[in-house]
Amino acid sequence: MFRRHIPMVCLIGSIALLVTLPTVAQQGSVDREAYAREQVQFLTLELDQWTKDFPHQFYAALMTPPRDASKLSDSVKAGAEDLGSSVKDLYALSSTKDVTTNAKFKEQMEKTIAAAKQVNQAMGTQRFPDPLQSDWEQIRTNLNSLARIYKVEALAILEPPGGGGGGRGGRGGNAAPTAVAKAVAPGAGVTGYVVDQSCALKGKGMWTNAQCIERCIRDGDTVVVVTEEGKVFRVGNPDKIGSESYGQKVTLLGKVDADVIVVSGLQ
């Protein structure tokens, strides 16, 4: 009697599984879409905040030596104001539910990148104050992240005259050797915050955001350690670092070669 019911039970179970699988698959798809939308909205929100004062600061710096406004074209000089306006329009469109596929948002994204190219040219041909250069690197990083999502041409990484940009990532001109010397004491490894590559370039406010860091690393971003001075070291064996260290300030012991550390221990 019991054996006769086994085929029926298996049939019912198979039907239930077939009904459930599309629902699970659909849920996974919805989750990925929600994550992509949240990422776009977060990047756009940051851009809106960072570009509020940027045009004013840009033009104020442009009017003081050693900058020379006469060497810039009218379109380049107008770039900062155009960028501020474009980002406002971009942020206004970011609340749409289909933002990742929205044609108007992508069109506005292209306009924003076009304005940003003018600013990028100015920042790459004249030496602006380090704080402003640092702000621009943050803005450029977010714009390039959005450009990758929407398959729009990204901004070139242009180094300003006179050595690096003085911003995040240890490109601070004459300050860079000092930063490296402090970060890499012989036999001491590297002391800094365990983050992902993207967050490392977004400033100290993101270095302790463990939730964002874990999500970015889970999605394939590179594990790095960034020092207080902004020098970024790639971790050659990221499997040595657990998620409990994300966003934490630690000392990584190990062999340092240029900007890569192979971790042998953690303090």
**CATH number where 51 lies:** 1.20.120.230
pLDDT, tens digit, for every residue of 54-78? 999 999 998 888 888 888 899 898 9
pTM: 0.54
Let me know whether 101 and 187 are in one domain.
Answer: no
Mean pLDDT of 114-128: 92
Q: Residue 107: what pLDDT? A: 94
In a domain, residue 12? The reply is no
Q: Assess whether 179 and 144 both reside in one domain.
A: no
Residue 239 tokens read as 């499997």
Q: Which of 117, 135, 150 is the last residue of a domain?
A: 150
**Two structure tokens written together for 4:** 């006769």
Instruction: Assess whether 143 and 192 both reside in one domain.
Output: no
Residue 184 confidence (pLDDT) above 60: no
DSSP assignments along 159-203, one per residue:
PPTTSS-SSTTT--TTHHHHHHHHHEETTTEEEEEEEEHHHHTT-
What is the pLDDT averaged over residues 157-164?
69
Q: Is residue 11 part of a domain?
A: no
Identify the weakest region by mean pLDDT among 67-76, 102-111, 151-160: 151-160
Q: How many independent structural domains does the chain possess? A: 2
- Does 192 share its domain with 254? yes
Query: Is the domain of 191 the same as that of 145?
Result: no
**pLDDT score of 31:** 64
Give the residue from 133, 150, 167 where a domain finishes.
Answer: 150
**219 located within any domain:** yes
Domain end among 116, 150, 184:
150
